[in-house]
Structure 1
């Protein structure tokens, strides 16, 4: 039987590198890349919006804080009866405790100076160095004189650290005589912003990888039907070649020997017609099997005489010499074309690999048995030779015959198996369930 030398020959599977399969694999990777790129683009846009929104939010939070402190502390400062600026209420206020930098400047005219007087520091916390230098104070003072309300500026302190400052004017009469400056170091907020940006970048990268993996998985799942269709196509071609090789050879011999055969050309023509009819049934069975495997057709279950089907199948073989058939009347529900193919494959397999020994076919209520008297099949190879496209060394077949037989049996609720025959040889069994009484 097929697979007698399977221990020295590994199963040959259909190649997965055919041009069509390669194109599908390229399409899968392209789909994965497009999915990942689209996801990355969307995440980049969302991350950019999040980073920009966070930056603006932190800036507004700092501005609101220093503005609130400057306005509140400005209300605690007043002038006494002698017109002196009193800071007692400011130094005791809780708003002053949480400020990074705090100062009060007051206009101080210099002798001989004309125009707007320059601001002089009246109070500084934690030190004068925490306030902008004189040039920075002059710029803030000029802005206050122009806007006549609280202003927000960014300026370095005495050490060069850039602070966000809120300056609230203090009026004496209708003129700005002093101002409260509250500064905040944005370094902590900027550090938190950078950390958020880094986390967003890492999260986006991780999500892109996850999206790529999911996209690759989904594209693979979506292409499985196409790959399965290609595999079924290759399998159909292999099975068609296996099924049609023998009848085509027999038909060729009939045509070539028609003139010299007994009965002459008319008899050869009749035999050729019978061979062509058999090939027509084979093609019909092949198409039915392909449609069933593709899921577009269901198995036909009709009552039939299994013994008559086996006898007809053996009689249609190119050379039934050496094949004996022992039957009893058996009725089963099944597809006649598929069952005929399964029986024919078992018998041809026994003839081909039985070493020229007699082949005995029997039909019982359990199914069909085919026995040869050849060397048999090793026990460890009996299951593997029923796999499709397993080729035994030195075999001329494609290794689909026994696989088709088992497939047909399973479609009918049975199975096909190979065991040792009593006294030597191999026994192939096509086991079918009994016909239901309904």
Structure 2
């Protein structure tokens, strides 16, 4: 596994930072919404409970009455649905100049508030002269929400209808809602983090791809320039140590400099094509002549034989020359010092060595970038360039074994008429194998 470059590591850290920021922003928004929802639910449940006890207390207060003799009649409560539906209710009555006492209760008097709370409720009713709300515990210890409505005897409040509602169920439902909101918000934050990570990854993917292409270009540029630079150094050193060899060395140095110029032009063209800033320009060219010239420019071409047939293809001369050069140099470097045969026929270039070859399962993988092959294939950098150039021209590159041993590398290009490379009528694998057979 390749280690990340510092720039790629910064991009990955930026991706996680964007993920955390997205999740944090989502969490903050959900927290605000959840807080509003909890407060709204609390207010709504309290209001509903208060409205229910107030409505019952008002209705029951209208049902009971004082007659002309000052007697409180409770008989209407026996048939009143409001009385049956109440959790707890009672009648609080105060004789003249005396403390209020419980006149009637639908359950045990222990379900009503204690003495001190009853006195306080009575004072508030007398003061407000309308329905009052009060929270108090009953004598048995159960907390209720109470509504107390006055009952008038002419112009005097002589009694109070007291209705209580148990808030336990409402609080239980509220607690359940809070838990569901908490779980829902946590799940949404998790989903937001995942979505944010995916989106940030998609946003940084072009930058990572650009960094990878840049690293690959630098590796390929070093691969292409290393050999001619080393050869140029040897030529210059040889010319400087011998006066008689200086003119020949100078001519060779000029030729190598020209080759370096073409290499740099090809590298820049490939970089622009991969970056999408330049379209490849295909022109008709003689593939056989291009291969002969490319092999002729190799610094060490001993052991290389070339057999060509007149072949015209549409292509980029610099990129095709680069691909052919990589195929031949790869065969020279990793063919075990065996002879290398190059043949051009039927829209393809065939390069054969007599080395150990490549296992069938590795023949496709060695064309991938950063894949290390066997002794006959090298690091895969040069072959990756060959495949890239072939695909850019609508062709392909492949490896195969040949009769008598060795490895056959082929660069297949499409017909000028637009046909598919590799068709039987233009195949050179069989003819190459027979002509290369020792």
The alpha-carbon deviation at position 374 of structure 1 amounts to 2.1
Paired residues for 1:85-104 under 5 Å: 85-104=72-91
Cα distance in structure 2, aligned partners of 1:91 and 1:136: 27
1:14 aligns with 2:5: no
Does the 8 Å contact 1:242/1:397 carry over to 2? no
The 2-side partners of 1:263 and 1:385 are apart by: 45
Q: Using the TM superposition, give the Cα deviation of residue 260 of structure 1 relative to its aligned residue in structure 2, in angstroms.
A: 6.1
| Residues 1:211 and 2:192 are matched in the alignment | yes
State the alpha-carbon separation in 2 of the partners of residues 146 and 75 from structure 1.
20
Q: Hey, what does 1:224 align to over in structure 2?
A: 205
| Distance in 2 (alpha carbons) for counterparts of 1:85 and 1:107 | 11
C-alpha distance in 2 between matches for 1:249 and 1:386: 26
CA contact (8 A) 2:330 2:378 kept: no
2:34 is aligned to: 47
Per chain length, whose mean CA-contact separation is higher, i.e. which structure has more relative contact order (CA < 8 Å, sep 6+)?
Answer: 1
> Do 1:242 and 1:398's aligned partners in 2 also have CA atoms closer than 8 Å?
no
> TM-score scaled to structure 2, two decimals?
0.92
Deviations 1:260-293 (A, max 9, x none): 6796323322221111111111111112212222
Judged with a 3 Å threshold, the aligned counterparts in structure 2 of structure 1 residues 258 and 314 are, in CA distance, closer, same or farther, namely same
Quote how far apart the aligned CAs of 1:248 are: 0.5
Q: Secondary structure at the match of 1:105?
A: strand
Quote the Cα distance in structure 2 between the aligned partners of 1:399 and 1:245.
16
**Residue segments in structure 1 that go unaligned for 5+ positions in a row:** 1-12
Aligned match of 1:310 in 291, 294, 300? 291
Q: Deviation at 1:83?
A: 2.1
1:141 is aligned to 2:128: no
Name 1:33's counterpart in structure 2: 20
Structure 2 counterparts to residues 10-409 of structure 1, below 5 A = 13-16=1-4, 18-109=5-96, 113=97, 117-259=98-240, 264-392=245-373, 398-409=379-390
CA deviation profile, 1:28-53 (whole Å, cap 9, x unmatched): 22211111111111111111110000
> Contact conserved, 2:53 with 2:146, CA < 8 A, in 1?
yes
- Is contact 1:238–1:398 with CA below 8 Å preserved after alignment? no
The 1:419/1:393 distance shift into structure 2, 3 A limit, reads closer
Structure 1 Cα separation of the partners of residues 160 and 396 of structure 2: 99
Shift of residue 164 of structure 1? 0.7
How many residues are aligned here?
A: 419
The answer to whether the Cα contact below 8 Å between 2:145 and 2:165 also exists between their aligned partners in 1 is: yes
What's the TM-score once normalised by structure 1's chain length? 0.92
Q: Please, which runs of 5 or more residues in structure 2 have no aligned partner?
A: 420-438
Q: CA RMSD in A?
A: 1.9
SS of match in other structure, 1:108: coil
